[in-house]
Amino acid sequence: MINSKQLVTTLALALCLAQPLAMAEETRDKVAVCAGCHGPEGHSRVPDNPILAAQHADYLVSALRAYVSGERDYGIMKTLAGRLSDGDMQDIAAYYAAQSPTRSEATARGDAARGEARAAMCVACHGPGGHSVIPANPRLAGQHARYLSGALSAYKSGARSNPVMASMVAALSEQDIEDIAAYFAAQAPQAAGAGATAGGQPQ
């Protein structure tokens, strides 16, 4: 027969186990709306939609906030992100950051070999090979080339507002942009926590 002390211990253990399970279920509900475009685990198969798996959580949160504020001009993301609390954004970002990395399988329009030389200008913020160790700056390795070229073009046109990125892409031609995107898409991605350090300017 279970005594009162054993009963209390059993109930406490059950509550401790139930809490993370409930939190995990709640997070899955939050990311469900993202799965249609980015895949259940952030492994997007649509070249225009970014791969989110193993991306830095800090960067993902800053990107969501940028859609809400209008710094990034993209209607559907502004609508969806606008429905999220800051806590929701943190939970969603943490979920995707914890997923296993994957490399884009889509065909790039640019030349990766030419892009490697041009990509040298990106190393200070995004790391060699696109392996950013600054949580505020996105990992580019393995990302869809079409998404990357679209993002660079948006910084160039002003559709994305970021003074640093705008100055970096100002002199790039369309071919330069496609080549840089092809180079980063061809690199092997790493898990989000690998080599991360503090600091950086969100991009």
> What does the pLDDT look like over 172-183, one tens digit per residue?
999 999 999 999
CB–CB of 103/53 below 8 Å?
no
Helix, strand or coil, per DSSP, at residue 148: helix
Indicate whether 202 belongs to any domain: no
Burial class (CB in 10 A: 0-12, 13-18, 19+), 8: exposed
- CA-derived radius of gyration, the chain: 20
We report the CATH number of the domain holding residue 124 as: 1.10.760.10
Helix axis angle, 86-97 relative to 57-69, nearest 10°?
Answer: 140
Indicate whether 7 belongs to any domain: no
Structural domain harbouring 37: 23-185
pTM beyond 0.85 = no
Amino acid code (one letter) for 199? G
Q: What is the pLDDT of residue 8?
A: 46
Assign residue 185 a region: left if phi > 0, alpha if psi is -120 to 50, beta otherwise? Answer: alpha
Q: What is the pLDDT of residue 157?
A: 95
| Tokens describing residue 32 | 């469900």
72 has which bridge partners? 160
Indicate whether 29 belongs to any domain: yes
At residue 160, φ and ψ (nearest 5 deg) are: -110, 130
> Which residues of the chain fall below pLDDT 70?
1-24, 192-203
Indicate whether 32 belongs to any domain: yes
Indicate whether 1 belongs to any domain: no
Q: Count H helices and E strands in the chain, helices first.
A: 9, 0
DSSP at 99: S
What total number of domains does the chain contain? 1
Q: What is the pLDDT of residue 197?
A: 56
Helix axis angle, 4-38 relative to 86-97, nearest 10°?
Answer: 80
Please give the torsion angle defined by the CA atoms of residues 55, 56, 61 and 64, in that order, rounded to the nearest 10 degrees.
-30
Indicate whether 142 belongs to any domain: yes
Burial class (CB in 10 A: 0-12, 13-18, 19+), 87: exposed
Indicate whether 172 belongs to any domain: yes
Helix, strand or coil, per DSSP, at residue 160: strand
Indicate whether 10 belongs to any domain: no
